[in-house]
Amino acid sequence: MEDKLIIGDKELNSRLFVGTGKFADYSLIPRVIKSSKARVVTVALRRVDFGTPEENMLNFLPENIVLMPNTSGARNAAEAVRIARITRAAGCGNWVKIEIINDQKYLLPDNFETIEAIKVLAKEGFTVLPYMSPDLTAAKRMAEAGAAAIMPLGAPIGTNRGLKTRELIQILIAEINLPIIVDAGIGRPSEAAEAMEMGAAAVLVNTAIATADDPVLMAEAFGQAVEAGRKAYLAGPGATRQFAEASSPLTGFLRNG
Amino acid sequence: MIVRINGKESEVPQKLTIADIVRERNLPDRVIIDLNGEILNPERWSSTYLRSDDDLELVQVIGGG
């Protein structure tokens, strides 16, 4: 039986999404995508810096990936909508990660503005994946507004602290009938595996890969962890118990009785 | 004439095309041109002249999470 992730009009055979920020060198990125087997890649849009122009990220991305531009920099729904329209008009596809942040300390997203942005962009035919602070009511509103998935944070961006919000994520997985993609805070492959074992549809990882000593090897580890976690979820883990239950017979071997 | 380029007011000569600006400022390939809220494909750069009070945004795709 095939276990495919379907979001919008895309059928994905990898449940690991990777971000392209914070890499020391853009040339690492195609190698990371290859070793991780990721198929969805996030990028950002910025004004050209005339003083120190950056290389074009698009030149480093292979052909067969799904591009997911984020609306980073947006402080409200109107700005997020503007960024999304620019990326689509520029040929970046119709997927968009809504990222609306007004908090510079924790980089926590503004769920309220995000809901408004989804309403506009979903109507315009975008496949909208909102980055959000895990809250069931907000997630329900985002689903009603037309989101294609919900992307709750595990911990603040860049902290590598894992699934601090795990119980709230579990509630979203149980109650929202959309793919739940844990985005932000995952610091280790084991944490990505844990998210998948909980029933997350996918995870998005950026900092943990980009800032590893060996990003290409770390990306491979994350790819394997996501596959393992998903298989574990599908395999149906056994119950946890308080008291021990022997795995081998308790009857004596080298003595009678 | 005065135009806004990436949010900053600039004095530019008359009869300047988008292609001129891209060339002059040594912009990366696949730069995205947003003129007054409309994305201009590269085919139109040589034939689109800037006008006074235009709002020009020159953006590009960079790494992001």
Q: Which residue has the higher pLDDT, A50 or A188?
A: A188
Tell me how close the Cα of A154 comes to any Cα of chain B, in angstroms.
14
Q: Which of residues 13 through 52 in chain B touch A, CB cutoff 8 A?
A: 25-32, 34, 39
Nearest residue, CB atoms, A44 vs list B26, B34, B63? B63
Closest CA to B1 of B50, B40, B37: B50
Answer for the pair A122, A146: CB distance below 8 angstroms, yes or no.
yes
CA distance B24 to B10: 14
A97 included as an active-site residue: yes
3-state helix, strand, coil in chain A (%, to 5): 35, 20, 45
* pLDDT of res. A1: 55
* pLDDT of res. A136: 98
* pLDDT of res. A109: 98
Closest-CA residue of B relative to A208 is B65
**Taking every pair of C-alpha atoms in chain A, what is the biggest distance, in angstroms?**
86
pLDDT tens digits for B8-32? 999 999 999 999 998 888 887 789 9
Q: Which member of A4, A22, A97, A231 is catalytic? A: A97
Q: Terminal CA-to-CA distance of chain A, rounded, Å?
A: 47
Nearest residue, CB atoms, B28 vs list A56, A90, A92? A56
Predicted complex ipTM: 0.91
Answer for the pair B25, A22: CB distance below 8 angstroms, yes or no.
no
Contacts of A22 in chain B (CB under 8 A): 63, 65
CA distance A96 to A86: 11
- Pick the range with the lowest mean pLDDT from A55-59, A68-72, A76-80, A213-217: A55-59
pLDDT tens digits for A105-138? 999 999 999 999 999 999 999 999 999 999 999 9
pLDDT at A248 > cutoff 90: no
Select the residue from B30, B32, B60 to test the A interface by mutation, using most A Cβ atoms within 10 A. Answer: B60
Q: Average of pLDDT values for A212-238?
A: 97
Select the residue from A18, A48, A71 to test the B interface by mutation, using most B Cβ atoms within 10 A. Answer: A48
* pLDDT of res. A257: 54
